């Protein structure tokens, strides 16, 4: 197989794992509700909302991975950023709903009593988790990739001769005015 074919296969596999990470909290909640005697067909709305968001983000994450594979100077940077984004997504997709429901239990109960659909809150929280993961992955990739060095930057200090030349030029400009 060619490298381009392997890259496409890996991007699709990464998208599938990404979709599963978004879908698993809703499935766990649905199974827990079924085991507790509270499950019914309307409980599938969280799973369907997560599936829609998961498929959409799988497409975005897969295309991001393909794009980073084309741009990467070092392929390891791309994989580190992708793994980091996946870990952040897994943590955010499971912890954000818990934190939101724990901190805002009264508000959530009053909204549910007034007929607001619970899946909208779930989808919003999962969307925030996806955005956090995407921003993290893109930032980590940018941070790991080498950037061109600019003269005078702290990453590429000028030599002693360069400093002397810069000071001489500064003094020359100051004496002309």
Ranges 28-32, 84-88, 123-127, 138-142: which has the least confidence: 28-32
Residues 6+ apart with CB under 8 A from 146: 73, 74
pLDDT of residue 108 exceeding 70? yes
Does residue 158 surpass a pLDDT of 70? no
Range in 9-18, 42-51, 137-146 the model is least confident about: 42-51
Give 63's pLDDT tier (boundaries 50, 70, 90): very high
Whether 155 shows a pLDDT value over 90: the answer reads no
The band of 37, judged by pLDDT with boundaries at 50, 70 and 90, is: low
68-71 contacts: CB < 8 A, separation 24 or more? 68/141, 69/7, 69/11, 71/145
Residue with the bigger pLDDT between 130 and 30: it is: 130
C-alpha to C-alpha distance for 34 and 43, rounded to whole angstroms:
9
CA distance 13 to 135: 21
Encoding tokens for residue 71?
């741009």
| Distance, C-alpha 171 to centroid of its chain | 49
**Whole-prediction pTM:** 0.75
Instruction: Classify burial at 134, counting beta carbons within 10 Å of its beta carbon; exposed 0-12, middle 13-18, buried 19 or more.
Output: middle
Quickly count: other Cβ atoms within 10 Å of residue 65's Cβ. 25
The answer to whether residue 44 scores a pLDDT higher than 70 is yes
The whole-number average pLDDT for the span 140-163 is 67
Banded pLDDT at 141 (limits 50, 70, 90)? very high
Q: Residue 74 pLDDT more than 70?
A: yes
What is the share, in percent, of the chain residues with pLDDT greater than 90?
38
74 vs 109, more confident: 74
For residue 115, CA distances in Å to 29, 44, 85, 102, 120 come to 20, 17, 35, 20, 11
For residue 156, is pLDDT > 70?
no
Q: Where are the alpha helices (DSSP H) in 45-159?
A: 45-71, 75-103, 105-113, 118-144
pLDDT at 119 (0 to 100): 84
| Token representation of residue 21 | 């990470």
CA–chain centroid gap for 98, Å, is 19
């Amino acid at each position: 197989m060619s490298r381009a074919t392997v890259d496409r296969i890996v991007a699709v596999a990464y998208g599938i794992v990404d979709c599963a990470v978004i879908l698993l909290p809703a499935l766990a909640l649905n199974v827990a509700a079924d085991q507790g005697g509270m499950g019914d067909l309307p409980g599938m709305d969280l799973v369907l909302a997560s599936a829609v968001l998961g498929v959409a983000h799988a497409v975005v994450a897969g295309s991001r991975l393909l794009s980073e594979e084309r741009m990467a100077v070092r392929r390891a940077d791309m994989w580190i950023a992708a793994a980091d984004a996946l870990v952040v997504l897994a943590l955010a997709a499971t912890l954000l709903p818990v934190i939101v429901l724990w901190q805002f239990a009264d508000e959530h109960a009053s909204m549910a009593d007034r007929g607001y659909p619970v899946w909208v809150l779930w989808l919003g929280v999962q969307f925030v988790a996806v955005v956090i993961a995407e921003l993290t992955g893109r930032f980590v990739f940018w941070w790991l990739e080498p950037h061109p060095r600019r003269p005078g930057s702290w990453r590429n200090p000028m030599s002693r001769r360069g400093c002397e030349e810069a000071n001489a030029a500064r003094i020359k400009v100051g004496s002309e005015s």
